[in-house]
Amino acid sequence: MLGGWLNAVLDILFPPRCPACRQWVGIHGAWCARCFGELMSVRQIPLAEHRLKYLDECLVLSDYTGPLQRLIRDMKFRSLKQHAPSLTYVVEQGMKERSGGMQARSVIPVPLSRQRLKERGFNQTEAIFKPWAAKQGLNWLDGLERIRLTAPQWELNLTERRKNIKGAFRVTRPEDVKGHCILLVDDIFTTGITLDECAKVLKQAGAVKVKALTLASGAR
């Protein structure tokens, strides 16, 4: 009861606004209809074109540009976790026509290294996707871990990226993925090399299919 009253007071004092244009909206985290319409660009990534051998499907919801890019960068580089609800909203709305999490049993985020997790204080992918997974009734698994520190992928060319990420992950509990379809989630798709490496180790652990969902694409 107290929480409901508190939220009502906060809505009066700090009415929810669109994170792009600052127009008033009905609920916290929502975007106005105009900005949201300009934002969404749901599409499949052509796996063969990107030479991705282990993923069975990869869906992106938007382009890595404009206000969405700003929010993601603020979360990653300024540790502004308060942007998470606005990005979760994008996932929820973008996936409305795909109930069931792309026919996956469990959702696994691409993990951060322990060092980066300590620096940031949270995994931005988990902050964005976990609330959506809960609403979908999907199992959330911290099923992967980085077993060595890697250089930031955005600093490297394609050949360097593959070498940098090779052997960087391991499955924490193979029994949780064996025989199942897994949905990998990450904030940004660029080349897909990191996602494909994660898919490889998941399939080596017995996953039947590995699909991927990312908030935005900065593919080049």
Structure tokens at 174: 């193979």
Using only C-alpha atoms, the chain has a radius of gyration, in whole angstroms, of 18
Annotated domain spans of the chain: 41-217
pLDDT at residue 148 greater than cutoff 90: no
What 3-state class would DSSP assign to 67? Answer: helix
CB 94 within 8 A of CB 61: yes
Residue 54 three-state SS: coil
pLDDT grade for 1, boundaries at 50, 70 and 90:
very low
Fold of 41-217: Rossmann fold (3.40.50)
**Could you please report the per-residue DSSP string of 174-203?**
HHHHTTSEEEEEEEEESSSHHHHHHHHHHH
Banded pLDDT at 41 (limits 50, 70, 90): very high
For the entire predicted model, the pTM comes to: 0.90
10: pLDDT strictly greater than 90: no
Q: Is the pLDDT of residue 108 over 90?
A: yes
pLDDT score for 26: 84
Lowest mean pLDDT among 22-26, 68-72, 77-81, 179-183: 22-26
- Rounded Cα distance between 43 and 132, Å, is 19
**Of the ranges 59-73, 89-103, 180-194, which one carries the lowest mean pLDDT score?**
89-103
Average pLDDT of the segment spanning 85-94 = 97
The model's confidence at residue 219, banded by pLDDT at 50, 70 and 90, is confident
Q: How confident is the model at residue 19 (pLDDT cuts 50, 70, 90)?
A: very high
